[in-house]
Amino acid sequence: MSSNVSKNIQFFERSFPLHFEYKIRFKNIVRLKGEMMGSKTPVRVGMIGYKFMGKAHSHALRDVPFYFDQGVTPVLQAVAGRDENGVKAAAEKMGWNSYETDWRRLIERDDIDLIDIVTPNNTHAEMAIVAAEAGKHILCEKPLALTLEQSKRMLEAVKKAGVIHMICHNYRFAPAVQYAKQLIEEGRLGKIYHMRATFLQDWNMDPNFPLIWRSRKEISGSGVLGDLGTHIIDLARFLVGEIAEVSGMMETFIKKRPLGDMTSNLRPQIDGDAWGEVDVEDAAAFLARFENGALGVFEVTRFCRGNRAGNRFEINGEKGSIRWDMENLNNLQVYLEDDERGLQGFRTINCTEVEHPYAGAYWPAGHIIGYEHTFINLMVALMDGIEKGYSPSPNFEDGVRNQAVLEAVIQSAETGKWMSIPRLLESSKILSSQTVKNS
C-alpha cells in the first residue's frame, strides 16, 4: 500500500470514528433500497429548495463520487420547490432526476433515502420532523431552527426515528480547519487560552437594500447572529470546546427597509414602494467563557465595509497559535514556541498535502481548492455516517448546543447579564451527558 493511501485511510479512521452514542439500528442502513450502482449502494437524495445553498449542495453531491471512493454514493433523485417553472429549470440545470412542487410529497416518496433541507430557517423544524417521522435521513442547513425549543424537538424526532442527521456547518470541513483541529488535539498548542473569531460582511449597508427573508425575524429567527454567528460558534465548539457563558450585545443600524426579495442570481429586488420594520440585528458581538477556561471574543456584522466574507479566527495556546481566514481558505498560519529563537514567527502552511485532511482526494500539493469543496467534504462525512450507521458531527445535537449559545447571546443582549449555556440546556434530557463530542 502506498504511503499516501495509508495516510488517507488513517485520516478517515481518525475523522469518522463510530460514535457509540449515535450508532443507530442496522435497519436504517439496509433501508437504502435503490438499485446498486456498480459496487456502491445509492443514497437517493431529495432536496427541498434550490437557490444559493441548493446550488452549493447539488454541486457537492455530484462531486462526492468524483473525488472520493465510498461504499455508498449520492444520487440526485428529486428536488422540491413551490414554483413549477423554477424548480423544473433548477432540476435540469443542476442535474436532478425529477422534481416535486410540494415538499411533503417529496418526503413521502419511497425512492428517497435522505432529505436535504436548503430552505429558509422558519421551515427547517417542520420539514425535518416530517422527514424523520417518514424514516428519512436528514441534512439540514444552519441554523438548525428559529429557537432552542424548536431545535430540541427536531433532535427528539431524529433520535426517536433512529435516522442519520447532520447540520450543514461546512467551514469546519476546510482542510486547513481540520488540520487546525488535529494540531490542537495533538497538543501542539498546549492549553488553549484564547479564541477570537469574526464573520464580517457588508452586503446590507445600503439603506435601500430590501427587507429580504434574512432580515425578518419570523423567517430567520435572528439576524446576523443566527446567519453568521452560528458558523463561528460551530468553529469555536469544534476547535476549543463547549461554551459555558456569554455576554452579548446586538444592534440594528437601519430600522426600516423597502420590502423585497432576492432573485435567482442572488441580486436583491424591491417589490413596489412599501417599507417594513427590520426586527433583527445587523451586528452582534459577544464575550465567551469556555468550559475549559479559555476566553472567547466573537463579532459578526453585515456593516463592515470592504469585508465580503471575513470569516476569520485566531487561537492562542501556551505553546503556539493558529490563524485562519476563509478568504484564503487553503492556508493555516501556525506559530510554535518550540521553534528556534530567531526563526520564530507565524509560518503559512498551504493545506493541500496528503497529510492534510480531505486534501489528498483532490489535486497535487499546491493546487488549491475552494468554498465548494467544504460542502463536498461535509457530504463525504454524511455518506460515511449513512454507510456505517452513525450521525457525524456536526449533527442535530451540535445544532441544539449551537442554538443554545445563540439564544444565550440574545438573552444577554436583552438583559445586560451574563447567560449560562448549561442552564439553558439543563432540562434537555435528549442531550448526551458528555460535554464535548465533536469528532
Ligand X SMILES: NC(=O)c1ccc[n+]([C@@H]2O[C@H](COP(=O)([O-])OP(=O)(O)OC[C@H]3O[C@@H](n4cnc5c(N)ncnc54)[C@H](O)[C@@H]3O)[C@@H](O)[C@H]2O)c1
Question: Shortest Cβ distance from residue 197 to ligand X (Å)?
Answer: 15
Question: Contact, 144 vs 120, CB < 8 A?
Answer: no
For residue 48, state whether it binds ligand X (rule: CB under 6 A).
Answer: yes
Could you tell me which residues come within 8 angstroms of residue 260 by beta carbon, excluding any fewer than 6 positions away?
210, 211, 212, 268, 269, 270, 271
Q: How many residues bind ligand X (CB under 6 A)?
A: 21
User: Of 67-86, which residues contact ligand X (CB under 6 A)?
Assistant: 81-82
Q: Which residue has the cell 445600503?
A: 206
User: Reduced to 3 states, what is the DSSP secondary structure of residue 51?
Assistant: coil
Question: Shortest Cβ distance from residue 371 to ligand X (Å)?
Answer: 9
Alpha-carbon span 118 to 90, nearest angstrom: 14
Which member of 15, 28, 42, 49 binds ligand X (CB under 6 A)? 49
Angle at 290 between CA 286 and CA 292, to 5 degrees: 165
Q: Which residue has the cell 435503490?
A: 34
Which member of 19, 44, 51, 137 binds ligand X (CB under 6 A)? 51
Which member of 11, 16, 22, 50 binds ligand X (CB under 6 A)? 50
Question: Contact, 236 vs 244, CB < 8 A?
Answer: no
Q: Which is nearer to ligand X, 155 or 334 (CB)?
A: 155
Could you tell me which residues come within 8 angstroms of residue 353 by beta carbon, excluding any fewer than 6 positions away?
359, 360, 365
Which residue in 53, 140, 123 sits closest to 94, CA to CA? 53
Which member of 26, 52, 275, 363 binds ligand X (CB under 6 A)? 52
Residues in contact with ligand X, shown as a per-residue x/- string from 166 to 205 under the rule CB under 6 A: --x-x-----------------------------------
Question: Shortest Cβ distance from residue 69 to ligand X (Å)?
Answer: 25
Which member of 123, 215, 391, 403 binds ligand X (CB under 6 A)? 123
Question: Shortest Cβ distance from residue 263 to ligand X (Å)?
Answer: 10
Alpha-carbon span 94 to 52, nearest angstrom: 12
Could you tell me which residues come within 8 angstroms of residue 312 by beta carbon, excluding any fewer than 6 positions away?
197, 198, 199, 323, 324, 325, 326
Q: Which is nearer to ligand X, 72 or 232 (CB)?
A: 232
Q: Which is nearer to ligand X, 115 or 157 (CB)?
A: 115
Question: Shortest Cβ distance from residue 101 to ligand X (Å)?
Answer: 9
Question: Shortest Cβ distance from residue 244 to ligand X (Å)?
Answer: 26
Which member of 89, 254, 262, 368 binds ligand X (CB under 6 A)? 262
Site residues (vs ligand X, CB under 6 A): 48-54, 81-82, 103, 118-121, 123, 141-142, 168, 170, 227, 262
